[in-house]
Amino acid sequence: MAKQEKLVPLAGSERRPPTEARETGVPDPGERIRISVLLRPRSRLEELASGKEMDSTLPRERQYLTREEFDAQYGADPADVTKVEAFAHQHDLTVVETTFAERTVVLSGTIAALSAAFGVKLANYEYREGTFREHTGPVMIPSDLAGVVEGVFGFDNRPQARPLFR
């Protein structure tokens, strides 16, 4: 069982269903889903793009980072990953995958467990393009993960784009 922790809203995570959508009920709390937790980089990527070398040096004369160097400099910090994994285990969630270069930790669990862990209320909706699951309001994270977690994705399954065929 998870310990009581102070939850804070994750900036930018607020959602509202489309105005034409109609709520049709709640998702099955026992359904297993996966979510992705995006972590902060060790160093800001703006530092990489603001180098003096970018202004004055021809591309063929520049020094480029290897993948390993990029991961070490701009990937997820192992301490941040450890914090997210500990949070997941406290809430009976499974860590499916961790990718340091992408700064992502993929978690799996039941809708009930994930909703409780992240303080979200999920609902099913129906609209002209089909049905989907979405949360309203912000995703909540423990205060000790504020600044560490930049995004939580996967609670919603509404298509975000559609193909435009010519």
The per-residue pLDDT for range 67-92, each reduced to its tens digit, is 898 888 899 999 999 999 999 999 99
Mean pLDDT of the chain, nearest integer: 89
CA-CA distance, 146 to 83, in Å (whole number)? 11
Q: Which tokens go with 133?
A: 């699951």
Identify the domain containing residue 96 by its residue range.
Answer: 7-40+76-153
Assess if residue 1 is contained within a domain: no
Assess if residue 13 is contained within a domain: yes
Question: Is residue 35 within 8 Å of residue 107, measured between CB atoms?
Answer: yes
Name the pLDDT band for 1 (thresholds 50, 70, 90): very low
Least confident interval from 62-66, 95-99, 125-129, 152-156: 62-66
Whether 116 shows a pLDDT value over 80: the answer reads yes
Question: Is residue 23 within 8 Å of residue 124, measured between CB atoms?
Answer: yes
Assess if residue 33 is contained within a domain: yes
The pLDDT assigned to 138 comes to 95
The pLDDT assigned to 164 comes to 80
- Average pLDDT (48-73) is 76
Phi, psi for 158 (deg, rounded to 5): -75, 135
The pLDDT assigned to 62 comes to 78
Assess if residue 65 is contained within a domain: no
Whether 98 shows a pLDDT value over 70: the answer reads yes
Q: Which tokens go with 131?
A: 């049905």
Q: Which tokens go with 9?
A: 């809203």
For strand 130-136 and strand 7-9, is the pairing parallel, antiparallel, or unpaired? Answer: unpaired
Assess if residue 2 is contained within a domain: no
From residue 97, give the alpha-carbon distance in Å to each of 15, 17, 78, 123: 26, 29, 14, 27
Q: Which of 30, 25, 38 is nearest to 133 (CA)?
A: 25
For the chain, the domain total comes to 1
CA-CA distance, 117 to 142, in Å (whole number)? 9
CA-CA distance, 106 to 42, in Å (whole number)? 19
Assess if residue 56 is contained within a domain: no
- How far, rounded to the nearest angstrom, does the alpha carbon of residue 82 sit from its chain's CA centroid? 16
Assess if residue 91 is contained within a domain: yes
Assess if residue 81 is contained within a domain: yes
Q: Which residues contact 44 (CB under 8 A, 6 or more apart)?
A: none
pTM of the shown model: 0.85
